Amino acid sequence: MKEKCPGLWRQQLLARAAVAVVLTSPWASAGMADAHSIQLQAAPEGDLAQSLNACIRALSPKGGICDGRNFGGKYEISTPVVINKPAVVVLLPVGEIRVAAAGYIAILADGVVVEGGGTAGTVLVSGKGAVLQLGDSKTPVRRWRVTHLGLRASTAQEQSAGLILENAREGNISDVQVVGFNGQGAAGIRVGVNCWAVTLDNVYLTSNTTGLMFGGGNLNGWSVRGGYINLNSVGISFDIGKGSAHGLVFGSSVIIENNRAAGLLFRSGRYYGITFSEFYGETPNQARFIDVTDASADLSIDMLTITRGYLQVQSDDAFRVVVSKTGSVRLSMENLVVEARQPIKRVAWFDGSAVGAMLREVEVLGMSEPGNQPFGVANRARVTATQ
């Protein structure tokens, strides 16, 4: 018996080693598609995209982990990486990863996670187009997560974006920084139709044409918590045409500052229950914090609530609401402190008979004529102000 035991142990060790080789090989065949955790290896004459696609093909149909944290190959995504199996976790390596014009990462299955090594650790650098696509016109995706990543545009490209969402539902974007998508029509994050129950946690949108762009309807149950939306032309834009949005909540601890044209820009669509609370804001000279106008399309908001925040301004009319078409806007401002860096005559302007505003406990510091109402009205706009 003593002589047979070592041989048995050797057989067991060899068997375990064989299993380990299968589970760590990115070149596993379709017949081995029961692997659950694969360490990425450098593809011969290939790049990170080739290794990731090979890994995804080799994973179990029920999902698994593609671990690229020790990837030793070329840090480039030259072709699309399509994650079309559910419950796949992609762990990207630390470093700068170049995304070619034809390259991107697409999440097209439920329960997918794409994770890097931090906003300054794993940085996807794009020359054109979108870096990450969550869902598409034919493929709804749910319970996905994108985290610990930086996305940066290397050049100004029209209509480009760091992330594009379409049919993306019940997902989370956290600890992500998107910088430099500043071509015409570009955005840090572009949101299309049918995106709901999405949470943004500590997302930093900086130096883009638009930081967060809502461009499609049927948007419900969004929550934006923490993070910076700053140094964009427009911080957040709402321009969803004839679509609708319900229950969009921004706060707490969201910082919206120094966006050159507007912090929040409403242009078209129907909105129900939009809330900004517990925020910090700054506006540069001649910029708006909130700009609502239906100049080009119908716009309806019921109700836009702005509460429990601090805003620093440098010029009049940081809040501007103008409605002249068939829509209507109801707005509530409550428990706010607005501080002017230089004397101002008013902090808000309301224009149009379809505008209704209620101001309660809004303290304005730095009025050039203390004691006057801090707002102006035109064309039968209805405003109620109490302290």
| pLDDT, tens only, 171-196 | 999 999 999 999 999 999 999 999 99
**What's the token pair of residue 2?**
């003593």
Nearest to 76 by CA among 11, 124, 4, 22: 124
Q: Give pLDDT, residue 375.
A: 94
**What's the token pair of residue 117?**
């090594």
Q: What pTM, to 2 d.p., does this model score?
A: 0.90
φ, ψ at 18 (rounded to 5°): -65, -40
Q: What are the Cα distances from residue 344, in Å, to 162, 224, 386?
A: 37, 31, 20
| pLDDT, tens only, 50-87 | 999 999 999 999 999 999 999 999 999 999 999 999 99
Burial of 285 per CB tally in 10 Å (0-12, 13-18, 19+): exposed
Q: Give pLDDT, residue 98.
A: 96
Q: Give pLDDT, residue 17.
A: 35
**What's the token pair of residue 28?**
């596993």
Amino acid letter, 308: R
Q: Give pLDDT, residue 333.
A: 97
- CA-only gyration radius of the chain, Å: 25
End-to-end CA distance of the chain, in Å? 91
Q: Give pLDDT, residue 7.
A: 54
| Cβ neighbours for 362, distance < 8 A, ≥ 6 positions apart | 333, 334, 335, 336, 338, 347, 374, 385
Q: For tokens 């015409």, name the residue.
A: 184
DSSP letter (8 states) at residue 119: T
| Cβ neighbours for 15, distance < 8 A, ≥ 6 positions apart | none
Q: What is the pLDDT along the chain (387 residues), one digit of tens a residue?
A: 444 445 544 444 333 333 333 344 434 333 344 679 999 988 777 899 999 999 999 999 999 999 999 999 999 999 999 999 999 999 999 999 999 999 999 999 999 999 999 999 999 999 787 899 999 999 999 999 999 999 999 988 888 999 999 999 999 999 999 999 999 999 999 999 999 999 999 999 999 999 999 999 999 999 999 999 999 999 999 999 999 999 999 988 899 999 999 999 999 999 999 999 999 999 999 999 999 998 778 999 999 999 999 999 999 999 999 998 888 999 999 999 999 999 999 999 999 999 999 999 999 999 887 777 889 999 999 999 987
**What's the token pair of residue 129?**
């187009």
φ, ψ at 259 (rounded to 5°): -85, 125
Residues 282 and 202: their CA atoms lie apart, in Å, by: 18
Q: Give pLDDT, residue 128.
A: 80
Counting Cα atoms < 13 Å in the Cβ hemisphere of 202 gives 10
